[in-house]
Amino acid sequence: MDKRLDHTNALSMSVHPISADDSGETGSFAALLRRFRSARRMSQMDLALECDVSARHVSFLESGRAQPSREMVLQLASGLVLPRSARNLLLQSAGFVPAFPRSPLESDALGPFRDVLAEMIARHSPYPALLCDRHWNVRDANRTARALLAPLQGPGGAPNVVRLLTGNPQVSDLIANLPEVLDDMLGRIQLEALEAVGDPVLDDLLRSLEAACARLPHKSPSPVRRPLSPLLLNSPAGPLSFLSTIAHFGTSEDVTVRDLRLELLFPTDARTREAMAAIAAEPGD
């Protein structure tokens, strides 16, 4: 793999730019503040105490009777524990420029970061590695990851992990423990949707996961939870088993970097290790 991210080989993926307002329409500051506070299940008094301001001032801000300073917007966003994209949105709704940059992944500014990503993906070979944005659109993948996703990928467009799990009838043939995988992804998206506060794309993905889980035959949960819950795949090489780890990048103020996650799959047995080595050794794309 080239030192820069190779988007031409990543499942023929087109880059999916993330816009500054992709959490929804900005709207008025008062309405947005109410929505964020309600999503956090905080009263006006709760928010006032958290931000060391009066509940009366919070009430005036939410009614539009008072206009916030830039510092107050950031203070409220901090009290609400909003992600950087939502803090930018709140600032813009109050008429201020965003505080946190959102650079395209292909920009020169993120060149050093792309080098780091490329090195991490290359070092993980021959085991699967996927780079996803905050909506779980696949932005890059190594050869073994592309091979595993290929049976589920439809024609054209960048694949989305949640859509592959919930919208492809072949998924139950590929994933041997689909109920466990869907349940794990459901819990993950629930937390991400809660943090993002009203992100319509995450909310739609959440509904898709809930519907997919509801379609599965009802099965009483085991009273004893296993310490490890691997991803079990059926393949021409036989059953494959992986454990997953997801890396987030928290040392950057850039929203694009903060929204990325790198999922690395690790084989749990010799059969899976051998199968991944065989895929990686095949002739290039």
What is the per-residue pLDDT for 223? 54
Pick the CATH number of 108-281 from 3.30.450.180, 3.30.70.141, 3.40.50.10420, 3.40.350.10: 3.30.450.180
**Domain(s) of CATH 1.10.260.40: residues in the chain:** 29-93
Of 72-76, 77-81, 212-216, minimum mean pLDDT range: 212-216
Q: How confident is residue 283, by pLDDT bands cut at 50, 70 and 90?
A: confident
Domain with CATH 3.30.450.180 in the chain: 108-281
State the Cα–Cα distance between residues 61 and 54, nearest whole angstrom: 11
Which residue intervals of the chain are DSSP H helices?
29-39, 44-51, 55-63, 70-79, 84-93, 111-124, 143-149, 161-167, 171-174, 178-196, 200-215, 255-259, 270-281
Tens-place pLDDT, residues 109-141: 999 999 999 999 999 999 999 999 999 999 999
**Res 169: pLDDT:** 84
In terms of pLDDT, which residue wins out, 6 or 185?
185
Q: Tell me which residue of 1, 53, 65 sits closest to 29, measured CA to CA.
A: 65
- Between CA 227 and CA 234 the distance in angstroms is 22
Higher-confidence residue: 220 or 210?
210
3-state percent breakdown (helix, strand, coil) of the chain, nearest 5: 50, 10, 40
Which one of 1.10.8.50, 3.40.50.720, 3.90.1300.10, 1.10.260.40 gives the CATH number of domain 29-93?
1.10.260.40
Q: Which two tokens stand for residue 203?
A: 């909310």
By three-state DSSP, how is residue 265 classified? strand
Burial status of residue 97 (CB atoms within 10 A of its CB: 0-12, 13-18, 19 or more): exposed
pLDDT per residue as tens digits for the range 190-207: 988 888 877 889 999 999
Q: What is the DSSP letter of 228?
A: -
Question: Shortest CA distance to 144 belongs to which of 8, 269, 277?
Answer: 277
Q: Which two tokens stand for residue 135?
A: 């909506």
Q: Which of 59-73, 145-159, 250-264 has the highest mean pLDDT?
A: 59-73
Q: Are 13 and 160 in contact (CB under 8 A)?
A: no
Nearest 5 degrees, angle CA 229-CA 231-CA 171?
Answer: 135
The CA-atom distances, in angstroms, between 51 and each of 57, 80, 176 are: 11, 9, 48
Name the band, by pLDDT with cuts 50, 70 and 90, for residue 229. confident
Provide the phi-psi class of 199: left if phi over 0, else alpha when psi is between -120 and 50, else beta.
beta
